[in-house]
Structure 1
Amino acid sequence: MWSSFWRSRDRFSLDQLSYLTDQLAKIQVVTDDNKDFVIEALRSIAELMTYGDQHDSSYFEFFMEKQVMGEFVRILKISKIVSVPLQLLQTVSILVQNLRNEHAIYYLFSNQHINYLITYSFDFQNEELLSYYISFLRAISGKLNRNTVSLLVKIHGDEVVSFPLYVEAIRFAFNEENMVRTAVRAVTLNVYHVGDDSVNRYISSAPHTDYFSNLISFFRKQSMDLNKLVSHTLINPGPDSTSTIIVAIDEIEDNLYYFSDIVSAGIPDVGRLITDSILMVLIFPLLLPSLRISIDNVRNLT
């Protein structure tokens, strides 16, 4: 079956899309024998849907009719081979990023398939998989507005009670990889700039408020680590000391810009959370005692 992958069909035809989805539907479990076909089929479907979005609306009509997003979820469930979820996340990311038709985006975000993928228990011990997952979250956040965000949250009454995209993203806010942390910041800023009052109340209510105090605590640790690094370098300079210090300073500077961007998003409660955390975590315990010591030293000199 797999040898006829491209045989007698135009690579960018609706016939090819139909063939790929039909063959995927026949797969009962992903094995070493069929994984290459599954991966290539997922990759090709992303290409075909991007092509169709630009040239022929019937591609997406077929995509909806055959419930291909549901098929993606099914494939994920029956696969234990890490390369398959890698490709699936990349495929959905490509779809989200490249589909320009608003109706198509609304469809992708509906039916809870996206939220299922967001909350799926991927093996994040695999660094490559984590990277693809974070890119997937970032792609989704790039399509957020007041209309699309309603498809990704659960509402009870007038209040948001669940927002998997945001909650899962901030889980990795303090990951050791700077690229992951940067992507998480992008996701959160996209959320903050949506301007939805119910979403704003959600992110500024417990337990999600812990994120902002943890941000300042993380910044404090970075600053103290930089201080130790500089002190150590003065005593034992090494060939890479300067570059290491510059990297540490750049990360601290990035965080300061991030704090500014959060406050600039114009969510009053979030702005207060940031400023209050700065006071409680940085100013009061660190700067004020330092000022007091300086004043005492001046008095002793006089």
Structure 2
Amino acid sequence: MESFDPENFQNILREIRAYSVSPLEYKNSLIEELRKLAEFLVWSEQHKQTFFSEFIRHDTQQDMVNILENSSDQPIILQLLQTATLLAHNLSKDEDKKYLLSSKFFTMIVSFPFDFTDEEVVEHYMSYIKGLAINISKQQLMNFLITQHFCLFTGAMMFFNYKETLIKTASRTIILTVIKLNHDKINEYVLESGFFFSLVSNFWQIVKMMNNCEKNREDGKIEGFMNEFVDLLYYMNDIFDQDMPDFNSRLSCTFLATMMPVLVGSVCGEAGESYRITCHLALMIIAKVMQLVNTSLILDPIVIALFADNVPVKIADLCRATPPKGPEEEFVIDFNITKTNSFMHKTLQKLNPDESYLDEFSFNEALMSLFILQACVSNQSISKSLLSSLGLLSQKDIHKQELLNGILGEFQYYANSYSDKVLDSIFSLLISDRPIKFLAFCVSCKIIYELTCGPAYKIHKKHEKQLHKILRKIILRLTEALDNEGLKKFLIDFFETEWNFVKNINFSTCLPIPLYRSYVLLSDSANSGISIRKLSTDSTGSQGLNTKKVQEDMRAFFIVYKLIKIIKKDDPNEYPLEYSDILELKINDYVDTRNFIYDVVTIDNKIVYVSETDSYLLLLEVDPELAPAARVIEILPWKTLKVSTDITRNAIIVNTQKKQNPNIFLQIKNRPELNSLQDKIVQRINFSIYMEGEMIRSFLETLR
């Protein structure tokens, strides 16, 4: 490929200068030279220096400016932008960066009125100004912003909420880079620019779009909008992390003034206002805010509005106000001037079970209220003194604070008590006649654990009794399932599986908030958070019970059982059933066949011994040269097996319910022996199921 020739480049510029309107052949030549220049500027320091030595000449800069100002051909505009972008991202020497920032052409690009309806122009423009923002020194960026009338900042603001993610991310990176400079004159400009109102308005716009999806039942779109909302929360956290009082005050006041009427007002206020959203959606968004925001400036007023008996007048007024249409003056909340709160009763009422639980929306309102409570007791950014006064301070935090006070010689102890209103609401939900889904059980037990089971405190006897009462109600439903022949086998098959699932749930970490109402279960992995975990295929039993409900009951049983074990300081992860005949064998072990009673079959033309123990079917592959030793090829619990006969193959089909190779064909030439072995296997399966069921029943009875 032909190399970039600085002299040829200058000749083209001179020829273009000679014409008031550039001929087409010169435009094409210019595009080609700029393309070659862009390629070599990336790789060669020599070419950068050669270019700069030519470019800093006044006539060359002026030629480039004239081309930019007078050319309406998009290919030339794009090539100019691409060349500038490559320079902005690849310059490494301070001297080169000074050339760039002192150039009329390169500084002009930042404020030039490009045709931003062209997506390629937007892409190259944003890449260029991002390259400037992140590739020059802090002092150079300060000087550039101030001397160029903050055009870099305003240019980035234009695309703060652009449809393309990469453009939007570039815009937000530039603005955050400017904010981090923390320069008085720049800070003053940012505060007066309306940026913080624009940022919060984006929250409001996303919420409105989610609300429209909710009304139109377009559930699939809500997840994408919620992800955008969460990204904005993290971005807002990045700004708060700079710890700049003026910015923090302006941003928190703007957020509260705009979002409190929309969120808390929609949960607790009167319906009918145009800016209200559905209660369920408002609760879900509040839960996200409470979980992810990292400043008490926003969190404390929301917690007070939802749970305090008396609320500062300013906070109450914010919840009932109309969201502002433009930037407003900052305000100060006087926590001494309060009024009786009507919000708290409505908030906790979401947790009270009633006939409305037949409605899926009402259940999810209760579920989201639980996630808000979980965030209250878990988010370390909420003021500890506030949580303590509301009875929502976790026992771990109480213990830490008391230890710290003791070290400092300050003997002001937090009261070791929790809000009876809150816990009574949670217990009334768990103990209601209408069973609730496992996720609600899990979050409820997490909150109970946080509030009552810290290292310095023991749960109140009243609440321990309530937990036992909840456990007994679930046990009664599981016992009914054991009495139903259609559900008994299912319960036995899944009992240990569900225990292993619940065992991995950790009370000491927050459960992630599900994105929407259909997300009601925990995932298989303890580390993967909340997602859909499919239950078994639903099949209704003769007594009106179904397998899906039985599986949920098993999970709910184990999570409450685990919490009670923690309260009693027992090992919460020890499997509750004990087996006396556990085999100390593994696949590929060798055993002495003289120690077993067995039947001889063939599998894939290999001689195999079929042996039985109390709980397991063993398949032993025989090697005549090693007899009487045989290799263990399968260890299968009887309770998991199903059998049928393939007469055409003279084989018993053993279905193991495994995903890979689920069927084992035991071939026997003699038909009577085939029937006899099948009868023995069926009897052993039935007996194993019976014994397993009785073991589970006995275990449940000991807990009633």
Deviations 1:19-41 (A, max 9, x none): 22332232133444333222111
Shift of 1:48: 3.2
1:190–1:249 CA distance, 2 compared to 1 (3 A) = same
Asked if the contact 2:97–2:136 (Cα under 8 Å) also holds between the matched residues in 1, the reply is no
Q: Distance in 1 between matches of 2:11 and 2:242?
A: 46
Does the Cα contact within 8 Å between 1:226 and 1:248 map onto a contact in 2?
Answer: yes
Q: Is contact 1:166–1:188 with CA below 8 Å preserved after alignment?
A: yes
- The corresponding residue for 1:249 is 226
- Structure of higher CA gyration radius: 2
Distance 1:82 1:58, change over 3 A: closer
Superposed CA deviations along residues 241-294 of structure 1, whole A, max 9, x for unmatched, are 53x333222211111111111222343322222111111101245314523566
Per the alignment, in what secondary structure is the counterpart of residue 153 of structure 2?
A: helix
* 2:154 is the alignment partner of 1:167: yes
Residue 125 of structure 1 aligns with which residue?
Answer: 117
After TM superposition, list the pairs within 5 Å mapping 1:65-104 onto structure 2.
Answer: 65=57, 68-104=60-96
Question: Is 1:49–1:60's contact at 8 Å kept on the other side of the alignment?
Answer: no
Inter-CA distance 91–60: structure 2 relative to 1 (3 Å threshold): same
After TM superposition, give the deviation of residue 56 of structure 1 in Å: 7.6
| 1:140 maps to which of 119, 124, 132 | 132
Letter paired with 2:242: A
**Cα deviation 1:30-72 (Å, max 9, x = unaligned):** 4443332221111222233334426884553343347654443
Q: Distance in 2 between matches of 1:225 and 1:214?
A: 17
Return closer, same or farther for 1:245/1:64 CA change in 2, 3 Å cut-off: same
Correspondence list, 1:42-81, <5 A: 42-53=34-45, 57-65=49-57, 68-81=60-73
Letter in 1 for 2:186: V
TM-score norm. by structure 2 comes to 0.36
Which residue is 2:267 aligned to? 290
Find the residue that maps to 2:125 and give its secondary structure: helix
1:191-210 pair list within 5 angstroms: 191-204=178-191, 206=192, 208=193, 210=194
Secondary structure (helix, strand or coil) at the match of 2:114 reads coil
Query: Which structure carries more strand by proportion?
Result: 2
- 1:261 paired to 2:238: yes
CA contact (8 A) 2:31 2:75 kept: yes
Give 1:82 shift.
1.0
Report SS of the residue matched to 1:153: helix
The DSSP-based 3-state class of the residue aligned with 1:147 is helix
Secondary structure at the aligned position of 1:100 is classed as coil
**Greater RCO, CA 8 A, separation 6+:** 1
* Inter-partner Cα distance in structure 1 for 2:108 and 2:48: 29
Q: 1:68 to 1:291 in 2, by over 3 A?
A: farther
**Cα deviation digits, residues 185-243 of structure 1 (max 9, x gap):** 11111212234332222212x2x0x121121122112023113313422xxx6xxx53x
Cα pair 2:13 2:60 within 8 Å, conserved: no
Q: Structure 1 56/112 Cα, relative in aligned 2: closer, same or farther at 3 Å?
A: closer
Q: Which moved more, 1:255-264 or 1:96-105?
A: 255-264
- Distance change (3 Å), C-alpha of 1:138 and 1:291: same
CA shift digits 1:73-116 (9 cap, x unpaired):
22212311011111111110101111111111111111443331
Name the structure 2 match of 1:229.
Answer: 213
Aligned to 2:252: 275
- Summarize the alignment of residues 180-191 of structure 1 with structure 2, pairs less than 5 Å apart: 180-191=167-178
Q: Percent identity?
A: 25
SS at match of 2:135: coil
Q: Which moved more, 1:60-69 or 1:83-92?
A: 60-69
After TM superposition, the score normalised by the length of structure 1 is 0.79
In structure 2, do the counterparts of structure 1 residues 30 and 214 end up closer, same or farther at CA, with 3 Å as the change threshold?
same
- Could you say which residue in structure 1 is the equivalent of 2:542? none
1:25 equivalenced with 2:14 (yes/no): yes
Residues 128 and 51 (structure 1), Cα distance of their counterparts in 2 relative to 1, 3 Å cut:
closer
Contact 1:219/1:252 (<8 A) preserved: yes
Measured in 1, the distance between the counterparts of 2:12 and 2:47 equals 24
Task: Extract unaligned runs of 5+ from structure 1.
Answer: 156-160
For these two proteins, the number of residue pairs brought into alignment is 275
Identify if the C-alpha distance between structure 1 residues 195 and 53 changes in structure 2 by more than 3 Å, giving closer, same or farther: farther
Instruction: Choose the corresponding residue for 2:107, options 98, 103, 115.
Output: 115
- Counterpart-to-counterpart distance in 2, 1:201 and 1:115: 23
Taking a change above 3 Å as real, the CA distance of residues 58 and 228 of structure 1, as seen in their structure-2 partners, is: closer
Structure 2 portions without partners, runs of 5+? 271-342, 355-704
Q: Distance in 1 between matches of 2:155 and 2:242?
A: 21
SS in 1 for 2:79: helix
Structure 1 range deviating more: 26-35 or 251-260: 26-35
Q: Is the 8 A contact 1:42 1:88 kept in 2?
A: yes
DSSP 3-state at the match of 1:172: coil
Pair 144,101 (structure 1): closer, same or farther in 2 beyond 3 Å:
closer
Determine if contact 1:52/1:59 at 8 Å carries over to the other structure.
no
Paired AA for residue 90 in structure 1: Q
The alpha-carbon distance between structure 1 residues 113 and 284, as it changes in their structure 2 partners (threshold 3 A), is: same
Contact 2:156 / 2:171 at 8 angstroms: preserved in 1? yes
